[in-house]
């Protein structure tokens, strides 16, 4: 299984861009990178996913390096409500059309006023 | 509103007393999962289900049972709870749509076993 490595914590000033890195050097060619976040003890929330092209949606942008060994989640204008634990996940195929997400420890992002 | 609901949200029980945590989704999703979350260990998958009557073990299935008799419901059963099952539990569901597997999570159930 492709494993991910993230820094345990990061700070970001309110209004600035938050750039959250993730290493996934053992990722396979057809495995997707997913990002979720968890605010306090609420259920995790989907943010974005990608395979090899950069992706953008209303929440964030995902930049994946050309060799796919790492990626960066970008929150363009962080607000206090973005304070959360952010999980970078490599989706793995578990057979019979089923895919599994293995959550690691994530990065705790603190947005500072 | 599309959602995953869990009940109860909070439960304190004693060792050995059977309990069930219910999970229901209104999105007609084929896939459902149960996770537990413990400090320092992140989210770990207990069981998952690919459709009605199809379930399989996740990473930490010991001490748990599940059933999937209807598409919308996926209860988690602890036949004889023990203190090491004290945890925060999340149910999730998602639809099978090619590369896109956004999982929708419930609000969580905080279980304490004394």
Show pLDDT as tens, one digit a residue, over chain B (114 residues): 889 999 999 999 999 999 999 999 999 999 999 999 998 888 899 999 989 999 999 989 999 999 999 999 999 999 999 999 999 999 999 887 665 678 899 999 999 999
Does residue B101 sit at the A interface (CB-CB below 8 Å)? yes
The answer to whether B10 faces chain A, any CB pair under 8 Å, is no
Query: Residue B52: its pLDDT value, please?
Result: 94
Residue B102 confidence (pLDDT): 83
DSSP string, B33-102: EEEEEETTTEEEEEEEEEETTEEEE-S--TT-EE--SSSSB--EEESS--GGG-EEEEEEEE--BTTB-P
Confirm if B112 and B12 have CB atoms less than 8 A apart.
Answer: yes
Nearest chain B Cα distance for residue A89, angstroms: 12
The pLDDT assigned to A28 comes to: 86
| Contact yes or no for B43 and A96 at CB 8 A | no
Whether A79 has its CB under 8 Å from any CB of chain B: the answer is no
> What is the tens place of the pLDDT at every residue in A11-70?
999 999 999 999 999 898 888 999 999 998 899 999 999 999 899 999 999 999 999 999
How far does A113 lie from chain B, in Å, by closest CA? 27
> pLDDT-derived band of residue A3, with 50, 70 and 90 as boundaries?
confident
Give the pLDDT of residue B53: 94
Both tokens assigned to A111? 């947005």
Could you tell me which chain A residue has the CA closest to the CA of B90? A43
Q: Given a cut of 90, is residue A76 above it in pLDDT?
A: yes
More confident residue, A95 or A12: A12
For residue A1, pLDDT beyond 70? no
Interface check for A21 against chain B (CB to CB < 8 A): the answer is no
State residue A37's pLDDT score: 96
- Going from the C-alpha of B67 to that of each of A70, B23, B104, the distances in angstroms are 38, 11, 19
Contact criterion met (CB < 8 Å) for A104 and B96 = no
Give the model's pLDDT for residue A92. Answer: 79
pLDDT for position B76: 98
* Residue A99, token pair as written in the block: 């895919």
Residues from chain B that touch A6, judged by Cβ atoms under 8 A, are none
How high is the pLDDT of residue A100?
77
Q: Best interface-test mutation with B: which of A43, A59, A92 has the largest number of B CBs within 10 A?
A: A43
Check CB contact of A98 with chain B, cutoff 8 Å: yes
């Amino acid at each position: 299984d492709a494993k991910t490595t993230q820094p345990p914590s990061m700070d970001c000033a309110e209004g600035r861009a938050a750039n959250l890195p993730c290493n996934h050097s053992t990722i396979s060619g057809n495995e997707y990178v997913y990002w979720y976040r968890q605010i306090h003890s609420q259920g995790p929330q989907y943010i974005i996913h990608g395979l090899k092209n950069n992706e953008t949606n209303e929440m964030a942008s995902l930049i994946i390096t050309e060799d796919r060994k790492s990626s960066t989640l970008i929150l363009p204008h962080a607000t206090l409500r973005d304070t959360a634990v952010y999980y970078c996940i490599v989706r793995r195929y578990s057979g019979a059309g089923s895919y599994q997400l293995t959550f690691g420890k994530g990065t705790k992002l603190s947005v500072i006023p | 509103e599309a959602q995953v609901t869990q009940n109860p949200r909070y439960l304190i029980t004693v060792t050995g007393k059977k309990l069930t945590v219910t999970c229901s989704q209104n999105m007609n999703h084929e896939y459902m999962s149960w996770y537990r979350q413990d400090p320092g260990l992140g989210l770990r998958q207990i069981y998952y289900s690919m459709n009605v009557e199809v379930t399989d073990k996740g990473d930490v299935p010991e001490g748990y049972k599940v059933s999937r008799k209807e598409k919308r419901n996926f209860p988690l059963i602890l036949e004889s709870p023990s203190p090491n099952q004290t945890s925060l539990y999340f149910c999730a569901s998602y639809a099978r749509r090619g590369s896109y597997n956004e999982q929708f999570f419930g609000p969580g159930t905080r279980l304490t076993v004394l």
